[in-house]
Chain A
Amino acid sequence: MSNSSGVIAASSEKKTVEDDYLTYVEGVGNVPRDIYKHVESDPKGDLPRYSFHIVIQHLLVLLTFLALVATGVPLLFAKLYWAHTVINLLGGADTARIVHRMAAFTMMFACAYHIATIFFGTLRQMISGRFDYKRTMIPRIKDLSDIIHDIRYFLGFAPYRPKMEKFMYKQKLHYYAIIWGNCVLIIAGLALLYPDIMARIFPETLGKLLPQVISKGVSFPAFFQEFARLMHADEAVMALIVVAFWHWSNVHFVPGRFPLQWAFLTGKITREHQIEEHFLEYINNLREIPEEREYMKKLIKEKGLETLPIVSVSELPRIY
């Protein structure tokens, strides 16, 4: 134990480019950081990423999200000329209301399913001793340094992208945004669906917690209902815009992923993607999957990458 920590201390002291560039994996050799530019990939995915349960949950959320948007947005913009046409396509205002609620409850089911999957999956991994918090969504300080490192790479100040785990900073950010958004939308949505119950619960619980925030003369139920109305609408618009403009383009419309990244259907990630954005997870894959180990070993040998010249930082501009 003391021996290994001594090795880490020694290596961190002498952190050179070649340490960063080459990662030694037992049975494979030194894996270069930019090997992803040389690997063969199947667009439908090479390496495991999502379990069957996660794929189903994502599909449920995708479909219900679209249904909720289609029936909710016309209500928010009821006065605009297209709202009436859109809602009529969905069966009229009274039908759309029921569709919205059914979709909402399905999405809530998907959330509960997800929590159960995470809980029991973690439990199983803990029992078998395979649990590693680095391979989960738990936020770490490293994520912050990864963002800075990645932006430095994008701007041309760093030679390679950071070595990231199974879930990188973007995914963690989005994941926690979804948790927050779901909590807000579910609570505020229930307040709109069951105004009678929520009008009683809110003032009796939250009202006691924030007495000084709420000024005199405003009735608690009116305030909380208005608050729920605002939160439900604004959070939903935010979710829609982030998903439509950022999530979809980020996942499907960026170079190397267009026209479709299959991971959400197959649960598998392509090799080049895994190495580029989830390098440390790929190292885990190498340790766990013998075929992958063989493939990488052969590739490194073929390309002659095992005998790369050692360069110093001052020489980098010349090479790149």
Chain B
Amino acid sequence: MRTSNGYIKAFLCVSGMFVFLFAGFPAKAADKENCLMCHKYRFLGRIDENGKRINYSVDEHIYGKSVHRIVPCRECHINITKLPHDPVTEEVNCANICHVKPPFSDENFSHEKIIEVYDESAHAIKPGDSPELKKAKPYCKFCHLNPLYTRVDEKRIAFEETLRRCLNCHQEKGVTQAYMHMTHRLRHKTSRSPQEIVRLCSKCHQDTALMKKLGVSEKGQEAVETYFRSIHGKSVILGSQTAADCISCHASSKLHDIYKKDDKKATIHKDNILQTCKECHERTNRWLVQIAVHPEPHDEGHPVIHFTSVFFTFALYGTVFGLMGLLLLETRSRKKDGIKFLLRHGTSWRGKSKRRVKK
């Protein structure tokens, strides 16, 4: 009887542990008004007039880990005033002021300032744009996908050690969030990796046909291709975290101020480029900035470079085939003269010569 009691206790302990391990903790999203009462259902959705299937479900666990997790639904979806609500026709405006107060700040948070920067950039919709161009230009949600918090794994931040010091005075939950909020912006110029940035910009910019249609300059049409030919691009493909991506050169620390090359505000304008290069290349000079960051292919570039490229191709094949030919000739002849392949003690000339000298 005593042993079976022990078994039951052990069983309960183990199953308790399993429950503890696998049950997980529900992430707490800012759902004060209980929108998730309906939106938690995974197949909540409809098929619209065009036959497009739209899903309205919100996964609490995913949303609870995203950057907007403390923003209540209606701070962005301001048009919803009653329940059950009417069909939503208007897009969310990211310039809304939400009722979240940043620490040590009096005013409520808004993305308004960065949107002002964006509105002046090359990517903003201008009154004179063609309908095609208007459609193609990216708006907030095109690039920003409400990303999850990503921990910076770089050693230079010493995440754990620094956080442990904060915990000496601060409450764990609050300071961890605030700390993550800052550190995920410390890794690079952007919180995304260079690879993600290049992938994001390439989504539109590598489509040469689309770029041509939208009236992008000839150099701009093949910008992605030429970037990958540069040392920056090659390093980024291979996983470098330090090499320059698109944003490194084409935007300042405001990140959204991307202008055309000829615009005086552009970081790549000839008056500003020295300063831009200096962000990484400390000893920049007026000669360095003339180097092509988007190099053209060798066969389209300068005639001297083209000629050298062709010369090297010929030299390569000439050398390899010439030398290999000599090698094969030599081997055949020496084999015929009686040499054996294996190097051994004694002699390698273990065969009989079958050579005939022609006159």
Seed contacts A234-B309, A255-B335, A258-B342; 17 additional CB < 8 Å A-B pairs: A83-B238, A92-B239, A94-B240, A96-B238, A200-B287, A214-B304, A215-B303, A218-B302, A234-B316, A242-B320, A254-B334, A256-B334, A256-B341, A258-B343, A260-B343, A272-B347, A317-B358
Within 8 Å by CB of A153, from B292, B304, B333, lies B333
Partner of A250, one of B228, B292, B327, B341: B327
Known contacts A41-B347, A156-B356, A75 near B323 by CB under 8 Å: no
User: Which residue of the partner chain A has the closest CB to B233?
Assistant: A78
Contact across chains for A226 and B345 when beta carbons are under 8 A apart: no
Q: Is the CB of A200 within 8 A of B348?
A: no
Number of interface residues of B (CB under 8 A): 65
Contact A151 B329 (CB under 8 A): yes
Q: Which of A238-269 contact B (CB under 8 A)?
A: 238, 241-242, 245-246, 249-250, 254-261
A229: which B residues are within 8 A, CB to CB? 295
Q: How far is the CA of A106 from the CA of B319 in the complex (A)?
A: 27
- Scan residues 161-192 of chain B and give those whose CB is less than 8 A from a CB of chain A: none
Q: How far is the CB of B315 from chain A (nearest CB, A)?
A: 7
A214 to B235: give the CA distance in the assembly, Å: 30
- Considering only residues 92-121 of chain A, those with a C-beta below 8 Å from chain B are 92-94, 96-97
**Contact partners of A317 in chain B: CB under 8 A:** 356-359
Q: List A contacts of B243 (CB < 8 A).
A: 93
With known contacts A221-B288, A245-B320, A317-B359, A40–B346 Cβ distance under 8 A: yes
Considering only CB atoms, which chain A residue lies closest to B340 in the complex? A255
Residues from chain A with Cβ under 8 Å of B239 in the complex: 84, 87-88, 92-93
Sampled A-B contacts (15; CB under 8 Å) = A75-B234, A78-B235, A83-B238, A92-B238, A157-B358, A196-B285, A199-B290, A200-B288, A215-B302, A234-B308, A238-B312, A255-B331, A255-B334, A316-B357, A317-B359
Question: Are A199 and B285 neighbours in the complex by a CB distance under 8 Å?
Answer: yes
1/0 per residue, CB under 8 A from A, across B290-330: the answer is 11100110100111110011001001100110011011011
Contact-size category for A:
35 or more
Q: With a CB–CB cut-off of 8 A, which chain A residues contact B141?
A: none
B264 adjacent to chain A (CB < 8 Å) = no
Chain B nearest CB from A198 CB (Å) reads: 9
List residues of chain B with CB within 8 A of the CB of A157. Answer: 357-358
Complexed CA–CA distance, A249 and B320 (Å): 12
Which residues of chain A come closer than 8 Å to B312, judged between CB atoms?
230, 234-235, 238
Given A75-B235, A214-B304, A227-B308, the answer on whether A256 and B356 have CB atoms closer than 8 Å is no
Chain A nearest CB, measured from B231 CB (Å): 7
Q: How many Å lie between the Cα of A119 and that of B239 in the bound state? A: 44
Cβ contact of A199, chosen from B288, B343, B355, cutoff 8 A:
B288
Q: Which residues of chain B come closer than 8 Å to A97, judged between CB atoms?
A: 235, 240
| A56 to B287 alpha-carbon distance, docked (Å) | 40
On chain A, the residues within 8 Å of B333 by CB distance are: 153-156
Interface centre among B305, B332, B335, B340, by most chain A C-beta atoms within 10 angstroms, is: B305
0 or 1 for each of A120-161: is its CB under 8 Å from B? (1 = yes) = 000000000000000000000000000000110111111100
Which residues does chain B contribute within 8 Å of A43, judged by CB atoms? 343-345
Given contacts A157-B357, A316-B357, contact A226 B284 (CB under 8 A): no
65-92 of chain A: CB within 8 A of chain B: 74-76, 78-79, 83-84, 87-88, 92
Q: Which secondary structure dominates where chain A touches chain B?
A: helix
Residues of A within 8 A of B (CB): 36-43, 74-76, 78-79, 83-84, 87-88, 92-94, 96-97, 150-151, 153-159, 170, 192, 195-197, 199-200, 203, 213-215, 218-223, 225-227, 229-231, 234-235, 237-238, 241-242, 245-246, 249-250, 254-261, 270, 272, 316-317, 320
A242:B329 contact, CB within 8 angstroms: no
Q: Which of B288, B305, B331, B347 is A37 in contact with, Cβ under 8 Å?
A: B347
Give complex CA distance A225, B240 in Å: 22
- Tell me whether A154 and B329 are in contact in the complex, defined as CB-CB below 8 angstroms, given that A40-B347, A227-B304 are known contacts: yes
Cβ–Cβ < 8 Å partners of B42 in chain A? none
Contacts A97-B235, A196-B287; A254 near B330 (Cβ below 8 A): yes
Whether A196 contacts B283 in the complex (CB less than 8 A), given A226-B295, A246-B323, A255-B331, comes out as yes
Q: Which residues of A contact B15 (CB under 8 A)?
A: none
A186 to chain B, nearest CB (A): 17
A199 to chain B, nearest CB (A): 4
Q: Which residue of A lies closest to B337 (CB)?
A: A37
Closest 9 CB pairs of A and B: A256-B348, A93-B240, A93-B238, A199-B287, A78-B234, A234-B312, A154-B333, A37-B349, A221-B290
B237 at the interface (CB under 8 A from A): yes
**Contact present for B357 and A245 (CB under 8 Å):** no
Q: Which residue of B lies closest to A229 (CB)?
A: B295
B341 close to A226 (CB less than 8 A): no
Contacts of A84 in B (CB 8 A): 237-239
Please tell me which one of the listed residues B235, B242, B338, B341 contacts residue A258 in the complex, with CB atoms under 8 A apart. B341
B241: CB under 8 A from chain A?
A: yes
Minimum CB distance partner of A84 in chain B: B238
Given contacts A203-B287, A255-B340, contact A196 B347 (CB under 8 A): no
For A159, give the chain B residue with the smallest CB separation.
B357
Q: Name the CB-closest residue of A to B298.
A: A230
CB-CB under 8 A for A255 and B292, given A93-B240, A246-B324, A246-B327: no
Contacts of B240 in A (CB 8 A): 92-94, 97
Known: A230-B298, A237-B316, A254-B334. A245 touches B290 (CB 8 A): no
A306 CB to closest chain B CB (Å) equals 20
User: Of residues B290, B320, B333, B341, which shows the largest number of chain A Cβ atoms within 10 Å of its Cβ?
Assistant: B290
- Taking CB atoms, residues of chain B closer than 8 Å to A220 are 287, 290
Q: Say whether, besides A37-B338, A154-B330, A218-B302, A320 and B357 are in contact (CB < 8 Å).
A: yes
Check A79 against B331 for contact (C-beta < 8 Å): no
Is B339 part of the binding interface, using a Cβ–Cβ cutoff of 8 Å? yes
* Closest chain A CB from B256 CB (angstroms): 27
Q: Residue A241 contacts which of B304, B316, B347 (CB distance < 8 angstroms)? A: B316
Complex Cα distance A155/B290, Å?
A: 56
Flag whether B281 is at the interface (Cβ < 8 A).
yes
